[in-house]
Amino acid sequence: MRWLRYSLGTRTAYGILEGERVLDVRGDPFAGYEKTGQIHALSDVKIELPVVPGTFYEVGFNYPEHVREIAAKQGIEPNLPTQPDVGYRANSGLIAHGEAIVVPRDATDAIQYEGELVAVVGRTAKGLSEEDALSCLLGFTIGNDVSERSWQKSDKTLWRAKNTDTFAPMGPWIETGVGDLDELVTTVRVNGEVSSQFPTNAMLFGVAKFLSKITRYITLRPGDVLWMGTDGTSPNLSHGDVVDVEISGIGVLTNPIVKL
């Protein structure tokens, strides 16, 4: 099942996406809903952020190849995490599928994508065992953790490198029936050409391990999101480039680059 958050005229609502049809609902997938009977064509609505999270969790270094490639570029030894430590990011950077990634004038050319699996929490949860952890999820969506690599080096935190307005595209919808994570493949295309491809679940620490560790200390709430990190590296993106992040079985998140 696919949950789309969309707007049409002045109304923003959730709908169930079936093929190219949006079945409108009253309510939402977290607190409960009922179908209104209204149906729209997907092409007639504006796709909105699939959820505005209460807390936006982000996993930093979670694919061995990514850690090694970043270290090699910086001329340092790769330092693989030994335990699942999560970080935080800002809602202020979030934009929906189709919206432009707007790069400030003082950014360098090192604007890069990071295609990521995003877990969406469906219910309040604390103290989850690893076996039971995925049961707290509503489903999965896709994130593009856009990064300015010079700011990532110069600043004490990632605030500007990864949280500048528009640097966190998320969507296009939430897929509740993903099934076996080991079968997913993440593919990133720039202007239609494949630029990165990796098994989505080739993570150092998987979704269940993170959810279990987090909820030993922290209560997760409906709508919280957990971005799971990326593999490989990205070319520098130019004005006018269009980036697709596709995860098989979920969908394609597409955003153009606009340099000011």
Token pair 């149906």 is at which residue?
A: 39
164 binds its own copies (CB under 8 A): yes
- Phi first, then psi, for residue 253 (nearest 5°) are -105, 120
Nearer to its own copies, 145 or 224 (CB): 224
Shortest Cβ 19–its own copies spacing (Å): 35
161, 151 in Cβ contact below 8 A?
yes
Nearer to its own copies, 99 or 244 (CB): 99
Tokens matching residue 161 = 């490198």
- Which residue of 18, 20, 44, 85 would you call a contact of its own copies, by CB under 8 A? 85
Nearer to its own copies, 92 or 236 (CB): 92
Question: Residue type at 6?
Answer: Y
Token pair 């049809």 is at which residue?
A: 21
165 binds its own copies (CB under 8 A): yes
DSSP letters of the chain?
-EEEEEEETTEEEEEEEETTEEEEEEEETTTEEEEEEEEEEGGGSEEPPS---SSEEEESS--HHHHHHHHHHHTS-----SS--EEE--GGGEE-TT--EEEPTT--S-EE--EEEEEEE-S-B-S--TTTGGGGEEEEEEEE--EEHHHHHHSSSSHHHHHSTT-EEEEEEEES----GGG-EEEEEETTEEEEEEETT--SS-HHHHHHHHTTT--B-TT-EEE----S--PPP-TT-EEEEEETTTEEEEEEEEE-
- Which residue of 54, 177, 235, 240 would you call a contact of its own copies, by CB under 8 A? 54
Shortest Cβ 224–its own copies spacing (Å): 8
259 binds its own copies (CB under 8 A): no
Shortest Cβ 241–its own copies spacing (Å): 21
Shortest Cβ 65–its own copies spacing (Å): 18
Nearer to its own copies, 10 or 83 (CB): 83
Of 6-14, 132-140, 161-169, 177-185, which segment contacts its own copies by CB under 8 A?
161-169
- Which residue of 203, 220, 226, 250 would you call a contact of its own copies, by CB under 8 A? 220
Shortest Cβ 157–its own copies spacing (Å): 5
Number of residues in contact with its own copies under rule CB under 8 A: 33
90 binds its own copies (CB under 8 A): yes
Nearer to its own copies, 54 or 177 (CB): 54
Nearer to its own copies, 104 or 232 (CB): 104
Hey, which residues does 186 pair with through a beta bridge? 198, 247
Q: Which residues bind its own copies (CB under 8 A)?
A: 54-55, 57, 60, 81, 83, 85-93, 104, 126, 155-157, 159-160, 163-165, 214, 216-221, 224
